Amino acid sequence: MNLQSPLIIINFKTYLESSGKRALELATQVEKASKETGVCMVVVPQAIDIAKIAQTVEIPVFAQHSDPIKPGNSTGHMLIEALKEAGAVGTLINHSERQLRLIDIETTITLCKEQKFVSCVCANNPLVSAAVAALNPDITSMEPPELIGTGISVSKAKPEVITDTARLVSQVNPKMPLLCGAGISTAEDVTIALKLGTQGVLVASGIVKAKDPYEVLVGFAEATNKAQSA
Ligand code: G3P
């Protein structure tokens, strides 16, 4: 699947505000914001909510995690083939809250390629991002774990970490889109992230916990549109 940059990926995590019926409502709001602004937005609900959301909205749906397994005798795992059949078109891999061994990241990326499933691999710092970029996923996202869920954005608190990541990643894999995340909550955070060399953001609480997620997303999208026309 062709995902257009700049990209806004919204991770629903396991917040009650983005689970079950509320996950579907939130995905509908994201779809509305994406359609109205023309900015590509991806929703990442819990696995149990994927099928219903994918049947209802037209924007891309990712899984939060996939396991490095083939169909067969695994229990309690996420099989890419099953996620695909449920309507997901890609997956996060190695999120800070669902970390994998390097060999498992590499195997999962390979399985994604075989299944034409988009792989978005998360990394916690510039060096790990560069290591991950060498495995050639479709997207890499850098998120300093200490800022996740704090509302203090990586853009403002650690801009040098974004710049370092963008530099190292572009040396290893210049064409691969790089996102950043952690604490992203305002349009300004998005503007800064793009200016520092990313092609979008990976965000959770800033949207899921917002009073009006649609309004916040439109602000994010306007920031990305402005950055593109600048
Ligand atoms: O996957 C997104 C993420 O970990 C960032 O979370 O709540 O800081 O936007 P948050």
% pLDDT > 70, the chain: 99
Q: In what order do the strands lie in the sheet with 118-123?
A: 40-44, 7-11, 200-203, 178-181, 139-142, 118-123, 90-93, 62-63
Active site residue 97: no
Q: Which of 179, 182, 188, 186 is nearest to 226 (CA)?
A: 188
Q: Which of 95, 97, 146, 160 is catalytic?
A: 95
Cβ–ligand 1 contact at 23 (below 6 Å): no
pLDDT by residue (tens digit) across 19-45?
A: 999 999 999 999 999 999 999 999 999
pLDDT by residue (tens digit) across 46-71?
A: 999 999 999 999 999 999 999 999 99
- Please report the pLDDT score of residue 230 as a whole number: 78
Domains and CATH numbers, the chain: 7-229 (3.20.20.70)
For residue 182, which atom of ligand 1 is closest to its CA? Answer: 8
- Please report the pLDDT score of residue 150 as a whole number: 97
pLDDT by residue (tens digit) across 91-141?
A: 999 999 999 999 999 999 999 999 999 999 999 999 999 999 999 999 999
pTM (global) more than 0.85: yes
